Amino acid sequence: MPETEPAARRARGRLRRGLLSRVSIKSKLIVMLLVSSIVSAAVVGLIGYESGRTSLRASVFDRLTQVRDSQSRQMQDKINDLRNSLIMYTRGSTTIDALGAFTAGFDQLATASINPAQQQQVADRYNQFAKNTEQKTGKRLDPLALLPDSNAQKYLQAYYSAPVGSANNAIDLDDARDGSAWTAANTRYNDFFREIVDRFGFIDALLLDGRGNVVYSADKGVDLGTNLLTGPYRENNLRGAYEQTMASNAVDFAAVTDFQRYQPAGDAPTAWMVAPVGVHGRVDGALALQFPITGLNRLMTVDKQWQSTGLGTTGETYLAGPDDLMRSDSRLFLQNAEQYKRDAVEAGTPPDVVDEAVRLGGTMLVQPVATDALHYAQRGQSGTLITSDYLGHQTLQAYAPVTLPNTDLHWSIIAKIDTSEAFAPESSFTRTLVLTSTALVFVVCIAAMLLAQLFVRPIRRLEAGAQRISRGDYAVSVPVESRDEIGDLTAAFNEMSRNLGIKEQLLAEQRKENDRLLLSLMPEQVVQRYREGEQTIAQDHQDVTVIFADIVGLDELSDELPSEESLAIFNELLRQFDATAEGLGVERVRTLRNGYLASCGLNVPRLDNVRRTVDFALGMQRIIDRFNGETGRRLDIRAGIDTGTVTSGLVGRSTIVYDMWGAAVNLAYQVQSGSPKPGIYVTADVYEIMRDSRHFARVGVITVDGAEEPIWRLSERQS
């Protein structure tokens, strides 16, 4: 039994070899080409798919993050600008004098009275206010609880608020012609505060005295004359901002509140900016500006220009507060309220909340957005993720906290877009890749059959020719293991293999020498294209850093020394430069009479090509310093560095030279040649990238195409 098993295996092996030996070389070539091509296509396709998919996803996330950051910066700038403007206004004499005048006029009205007709007009005004609020919000108000309870408030409501009713034109009423001191102050200062409200888009401007009384309102609404501390509207964040302002004792202080529904404004979402008013470090009162939702909404909804800002058909940005409620309106709500209702309810939002948003005409302070992205942002984190949004849609979301210095606001900003839209290019890419791979396999099948036919025909002819020239005895025998065309060809080649081997060895040595010579003149990629017969070889490169360096003092040294000795010194310096360049990944392009042109990121893309090039310039400087220390000579380096787009290729016909040219090369040369003193000079682009890690000094400007370009000199000189 042990002897029969090996015999059986040997028999099976002989059978397989016999079957394979009877398969024609044409069939073998077809199978080989098909298998290798299909495997190669599959591997390349998988690599391309993963690489393309990763790149596309990274691009989508980057674009969404840019939109988020842009919106956040715009919002911060707007609030900071308004806050700074408020501080400037409160520090001016006009606001200080106005507060004093309105406070004095308000105090004089403490004993004033109104007639029954005016009393009834005020009551009708508050009844209408309560009715309008109920229609808008569904909340039932008691007008009697809101009626003025002080003579001053009754008087101001009778002469300024009640006569105009709800026409919203009380801000234009400067003189009620009642002869009071308050009216005199209003006639003098109302235009000033009206200009602030109109210019910056505020709803109202309030002046508050040190007791919490609203002694002036530009809009002259139902809160005119009320007291923030004891009145019917005391449960509002305006009171907290007022108390914080009065306790600040700082003229450059400004409190900014979060949005909250403000009853005198028809329960509309309202934020406040409050700053102290006073002189000589004493706070006599405050100026409060009513910040509306409309301006913030216009900013966060990019004025409804979502597609032009890169948010497509489903993307949006919105703000959310620490209560997990929106601080801006939903895009879907603004575009299709019915679709918003359906999606929000299906996503888990209570129907009464959705109905309230529809009734109020917006989702601010109504729609909850307690998503994972918001919770991360509330913890101070920034990033991106794929998760469900408040409408139940699968979305890409970029989140971040909103930083507003010197405020108590704790908002978060979310930029999102549906995955179906965001990954549409990825799906298209996948379909294209699959179709292309399928077509490629089909083409390979046809090509394999044609190529196999072509391959076999020369082999037959070569076999006949080899038999005719194999009359000599070459003593080299190759075992013939098959009976197909290759076997016949091998038997013929046994006769001439020795001579061919010798010739092939000589040819191989010659090819290596040619390769070495070409590689010393140009990069490997260019050598390959040159071998393949390309006549015009040029390639554009993005994000390449170029250094143009000149050895200062080499001409004088050459005049002092024999030519052989000066050449040896120059070659030794070049050798050290090349070694330093190779260690940093910098590629030498060519050398000049006493100069050196190199680049980083030309043939091997590198993210840190600017840093590597600056380090290489410092390395050249150290080599020169070491040479000076060893020989007592006074050589130096004058180098210019720029980064940008260049073109490389072969120049010339009879004499081929590998060179590099372009704007970055020209600017590097102008920076180097335009600098009178030795040193390392960089352009503005290089300076912006390296300013945080290297010390530079601005040394002037150069003129490029009629425009002045600043240049910087590297201040540090490392030993």
Q: What's the chain's average pLDDT?
A: 80
Task: With cut-offs at 50, 70 and 90, classify the pLDDT of residue 255.
Answer: confident
Q: Is the pLDDT of residue 598 over 60?
A: yes
Q: Which residues pair with 395 in a beta bridge?
A: 387, 418
Q: What pLDDT score was predicted for residue 462?
A: 43
Q: Which CATH number fits domain 534-714: 3.30.420.40, 3.10.129.10, 3.30.70.1230, 3.40.190.10?
A: 3.30.70.1230
Taking the domains of the chain in order of start, what are their residue ranges?
Answer: 92-296, 469-521, 534-714
CATH number of 92-296: 3.30.450.20
The H-or-E segment that residue 160 falls in is: none
Structure tokens at 318: 């919105």
In the 3-class helix/strand/coil scheme, how is 648-706 assigned residue by residue? EEEECCCCCEEEEECHHHHHHHHHHHCCCCCEEEEEHHHHHHHCCCCCEEEEEEEEECC
Note the pLDDT tens digit of each residue in 511-564: 777 667 666 566 777 777 777 767 677 788 889 999 999 888 888 888 888 888
Output the DSSP codes for 495-555: TTHHHHHHHHHHHHHHHHHHHHHHHHHS-HHHHHHHHTT-S--EEEEEEEEEEEEEEETHH
Q: How many CB atoms lie within 10 A of CB 55?
A: 12
Map 383-407 to HEC letters: EEEEEECCCCCEEEEEEEECCCCCC
The percent of residues in the chain predicted with pLDDT above 70, rounded, is 80
Cβ atoms 64, 417 nearer than 8 A? yes
CA 695 vs CA 147, 613, 616, 618: distances in Å:
68, 15, 16, 13
Q: Are 277 and 95 in contact (CB under 8 A)?
A: yes
Pairing of strands 679-683, 636-651: parallel
| Three-state secondary-structure class, residue 317 | strand
Q: How far apart are CA 121 and CA 87, in angstroms?
A: 38
The residues, any chain, with a CB within 8 Å of residue 316's CB and separated by 6 or more, are 301, 306, 330, 331, 332, 415, 416, 417
> Which of 169, 28, 187 minimizes the C-alpha distance to 105?
187
- Give Cα 339 to chain centroid, integer Å: 32
The answer to which of 11-20, 43-52, 144-153 has the lowest mean pLDDT is 11-20
Q: CA-CA distance, 52 to 587, in Å (whole number)?
A: 29
Cβ neighbourhood burial of 404 (10 Å; 0-12, 13-18, 19+): middle
Average pLDDT over residues 236-264: 84
Q: Is the pLDDT assigned to residue 327 strictly greater than 90?
A: no
Characterize 78-101 residue by residue with b for buried, 16 or more Cβ atoms within 10 angstroms of its Cβ, and e for exposed: ebeebbebbbebbbeeebbebbbb
Q: Both tokens of residue 540? A: 């554009």
CB environment 330-353: b (16+ within 10 A), e (fewer): bbbbbeeeeebbebbbeeebeeee
Exposed, middle or buried: residue 220 (CB in 10 Å: 0-12, 13-18, 19+)?
buried
Contact (CB, 8 A) for 99 and 277: yes
CA angle 91, 94, 100 (to 5 degrees): 95
Give per-residue pLDDT as tens, 356-383: 888 888 888 888 988 888 899 889 899 9
How do beta strands 707-714 and 204-209 pair?
unpaired
- The DSSP secondary structure of 25-57, one letter per residue, reads HHHHHHHHHHHHHHHHHHHHHHHHHHHHHHHHH
Assign 350 to helix, strand or coil.
Answer: coil
Q: Rounded to a whole number, what is the distance in angstroms from the first to the last CA of the chain? A: 81
pLDDT digits (tens, 9 = 90+) for 432-482: 767 777 777 777 777 766 766 666 655 554 455 555 555 555 555 656 666
